[in-house]
Structure 1
Amino acid sequence: MDSFASSMDLAQFIGKLGDLKDEHYHMTLALTAAVELLIDKGLITRRELEDKMSELDSLMIRSPYPMA
């Protein structure tokens, strides 16, 4: 019975991981579309975006993800 429960837990975990992957794709697509629209409308430049990304990245003292 434990093996069945473990298999079902694993299947549910894999399903949830797939859902997260789809959600991540759609969020990335929406963000990319929004940025492209801002650039197309002349509200920001790619260089300004790159500079801000670099600035924010430099604020990260350490990775938010634990390293083993």
Structure 2
Amino acid sequence: MESFSTSMDLVQFIGKLGDLKDEHYHMTLAFNAMMELLIEKGLVTRQELEHKTAELNQLMTGSPYPMA
């Protein structure tokens, strides 16, 4: 941990990381609630969401460079 000039810098960094984890949890919870509401209201099916998720995941995990 040589990149931290003081122990206090390290404590502040760890605190910020904890805050980010908390924020991530709340954003994920809100996202899941919205998805469930869309399904309950019949605006989208679970299968459509699963298909779109797989499609986007493929785009994100694929090579950023097209194969010619």
TM-score between both structures, scaled by the size of structure 1 = 0.80
In structure 2, stretches of 5+ residues that fail to align are 64-68
Say whether 1:55 aligns with 2:67.
no
Matches within 5 A, 1:6-21: 6-21=6-21
Alpha-carbon RMSD across the aligned residues, in angstroms, is: 1.1
Counterpart of 1:40 in structure 2 is: 40
Count of residue correspondences: 58
SS at match of 2:6: helix
Matched, 1:29 2:29: yes
The share of aligned pairs that are identical, in percent, is 71
Q: Which residue of 2 aligns with 1:66?
A: none
TM-score in terms of structure 2 length: 0.80
Moved over 4 A (4+): none
Deviations 1:36-67 (A, max 9, x none): 000000101110000000000111225xxxxx
- CA deviation string 1:19-41 (max 9, x = no partner): 00110011001000000000000
State the distance in 2 between where 1:26 and 1:47 align.
25
Return 5+ residue gaps in structure 1 as ranges. 63-68
